[in-house]
Structure 1
């Protein structure tokens, strides 16, 4: 799937997976050595992310229940916790990814089948 910005236009991430099960949500990106610029992981019904045991920093795009961006965290280092009280989901990507510059609070995002 692709993640697109319906407000600002254009593609945010080209290769997005969804963590739809409890196991996949819990595991997240653990065990990976990194991510490409266009890769992302959507975690629905989530407002708190940890980076315990991670080998790399990640960027986070928190969204509300309407997929409107609530906040953007450009770099969350390993062994940290990020919480966004008003979020209903989060998109994880590589820290410093161009995707983090393509969105801002208030933008509406959409997942599109490829």
Structure 2
């Protein structure tokens, strides 16, 4: 069976250095709307110092969705996911809106 491929309609920023991964979306005042952050490598996130909820999509090395956290609120954390290699942080509600489910393949326009 062929897996569903989702192409994200957002500008995706890459966080692939220690500092970019550490900072992530912390301290931003306004919620993200038409953008996302792809954190590589990353298999868990924290929402410390965040001011708005986000959707968190964990991907394996083939960009297949292995776990989703819908509308993760500030001051929460996720448990590490062994199969995850990277994490997409997207606007709250967008995973459901875009039909992103476990098993989907994500394509990002970077």
Residue correspondences, number: 106
Contact 2:16–2:41 (CA<8 Å) still a contact in 1? no
Q: Within 2, Cα distance between the matches of 1:16 and 1:108?
A: 16
Contact 2:6–2:100 (CA<8 Å) still a contact in 1? no
Cα pair distance change 1:9/1:63, threshold 3 Å: closer
C-alpha RMSD of the superposition: 1.9
Structure 1 unaligned regions, length at least 5: 1-6
Q: TM-score, normalised by structure 1?
A: 0.82
* Higher fraction of strand: 1
Residue in 2 that maps onto 1:11: 7
Contact 2:16–2:40 (CA<8 Å) still a contact in 1? yes
Q: Within 2, Cα distance between the matches of 1:111 and 1:77?
A: 24
Residue in 1 that maps onto 2:102: 105
- The correspondence for 2:78, drawn from 73, 78, 82, is 82
Contact 2:35–2:90 (CA<8 Å) still a contact in 1? yes
Structure 2 unaligned regions, length at least 5: none
Runs of 4+ in structure 1 deviating by more than 4 angstroms, as ranges, are: none
- 1:1-114 maps to which residues of 2 (within 5 A)? 7-9=3-5, 11-33=7-29, 34-36=31-33, 38-83=34-79, 84-97=81-94, 99-101=95-97, 102-113=99-110
Q: Within 1, Cα distance between the matches of 2:53 and 2:109?
A: 26
